Chain A
Amino acid sequence: MKPTDDEKLLMVLFKEADQDDVDSVLHSPTACAQLDQLEADMQAINNAQNTYELPSDYGQQLWHKIADQLESPADNVSTLGWWQKLQNFLLQPQYSLASFALVSALVMLAYFTGRQHSADGIDGQLQEQLLAQNIQLHLTQSEIFLTQVSNGNGSNMQATAQRLLSSNRIFKQALANHDGQFTQQILQNLEPVLLEYANSTPNQIHGQQPQANWVNNTQSNDLLFQIKAMKQQLAQKSDII
């Protein structure tokens, strides 16, 4: 018999064959005989392994080997961490809705609290950095202005002085909300000088020194030094002191 026929017989025996195959086998006396033989062989194969002997107290022996290794689900629960226990509690059906609401509320609370805090923190820091940079720019312009005045060059100096004076006053106001007393002091010292040049006539600026006699004044030299020092401080740390 061909292997395919043997395979068909085996499938018939295993009740895995198509109905047509079953019918064709059952209608053939030869095939039926072969099927009987196959069944007997399979039974013999099955019986062959039943000869495997185990001791009569095998169950007891096995129990002694595994008894210490047994961990029931109940034991597992007692050794669970607090997080797992909380999870198990929250997943119980009777608590699940309340748990969901509680967790949602906590998430929302954390979100809004975090958002407010971070927004405040970021805004405050950013504002201070921007102010520091602007003051640094203002002091640079003032320094250039004062140097030009002292050298007797530059054009449209009165307008520049007026613009710088306006900026100086704005920055003084802005610093009123900060602790930067040194910066405030420099702006305070700078204001009368700017004021004098802003109110002077063009001839005074280009021809003669203003009454404040800024270039030869020791106090004014100190002011220029203070401006330079503060510029450096603001450039390095962006920190208003």
Chain B
Amino acid sequence: MMNEIDKQTVQRASQGDKQAFRLIVLHYAQAVNRLAYRYTADASYAEDIAQETFIKAFQAINRYQPQAKFSTWLLRITTNSAIDYLRKANRQMATSLDTEDLQHDIPDHGLNTEDHLDLNQRLSKAMSDLSDVERLAITMKHHQGYSIDETAKVLNIKSNACKQTIFRAVQKLRKQLTVEVTV
């Protein structure tokens, strides 16, 4: 559960107070960057997305509804920024979003040369080997708690395709766990 910043700071920021917004950046910077990293598996992408997220948030902060958690609102901007960023960075993603043909396998990192890697490293590597859509879908569903329908809508794919995408991503990641057990 994320520790929320106080409402007065958010209110002051929404009136254009940059010092109040600085407090918001200090409070949420790590969470935003970590989420961006989950979506992209790339530290430099995550840094760009984090910057873009806070710039967008400052521009739109007077549209924030205080009934919702501020972190939810901010992380939603992060999600949208990540999707936009990946679309721009990898034009292939736009065309592959609604295709069923996303069956490329992740190399089996556990068998020979990478036996020495610990589980976390192998899982991180496997995560970065997922396609952008698979990584986005599983992060949105599993980490961010979006529903399947919501995830499908944001990614602009059909619900069934979204389920398949998530399932495929989970299979690929679990394969790394199975390797660990057998070694």
Residues of chain A at the chain B interface (Cβ within 8 Å): 3, 6-7, 10-11, 14, 16, 38, 41-42, 44-52, 54, 58-60, 62-63, 65-67, 69-76
Contact = CB atoms under 8 A, between A and B. Distances in A.
Contact of B143 (A44, A46, A59, A76): A46
Contacts of A10: 166-167, 170
Interface stretch (B33-41, B70-78, B84-92, B98-106): B33-41
Interface string B166-180: 110011011001000
A104 to B, nearest CB: 31
30 contacts: A3-B171, A10-B166, A10-B170, A16-B147, A41-B174, A42-B170, A44-B123, A45-B127, A45-B142, A48-B123, A48-B124, A49-B37, A49-B127, A58-B30, A59-B27, A62-B29, A63-B29, A66-B25, A67-B18, A67-B22, A69-B51, A70-B18, A70-B21, A71-B58, A72-B18, A72-B58, A72-B59, A72-B61, A73-B16, A74-B15
B134 to A, nearest CB: 12
Contacts of B111: none
Interface of B: 15-16, 18, 21-22, 25-30, 33-34, 37-38, 43, 50-51, 54-55, 58-62, 119-120, 123-124, 127, 141-143, 147-148, 163, 166-167, 170-171, 173-174, 177
B170 A62 contact: no
Given A45-B123, A71-B59, A58 B177 contact: no
B106 to A, nearest CB: 13
Contacts of A6: 167, 171
SS class, residues of chain A in contact with chain B: helix
B148 A45 contact: no
B163 A62 contact: no
A62 B50 contact: yes
Contacts of B170: 10, 42, 45
Nearest to B27: A59
A75 B62 CA distance: 13
A22 to B, nearest CB: 15
Given A16-B148, A48-B127, A49-B127, A58 B16 contact: no
A46 B166 CA distance: 14
A75 to B, nearest CB: 7
Nearest to A65: B51
A168 B120 CA distance: 110
Contacts of B30: 54, 58-59
Contacts of B174: 38, 41, 45
A52 B44 CA distance: 13
A11 B123 contact: no
Given A7-B163, A45-B173, A58-B30, A69 B127 contact: no
Tell me which of A11, A49, A65, A67 has the highest count of chain B C-beta atoms within 10 A of its own C-beta. Answer: A49
B123 A62 contact: no
B55 A63 contact: no
Contacts of A46: 142-143
Nearest to A60: B26
* Closest 4 A/B residue pairs (Cβ): A48-B123, A59-B29, A74-B16, A59-B26
Contacts of B177: 41, 44-45
B33 to A, nearest CB: 6
Contacts of A58: 29-30, 33
B24 to A, nearest CB: 9
A70 B127 contact: no
A222 to B, nearest CB: 84
B154 to A, nearest CB: 16
Contact of A66 (B16, B55, B171): B55
B65 to A, nearest CB: 15
Contacts of A76: 59
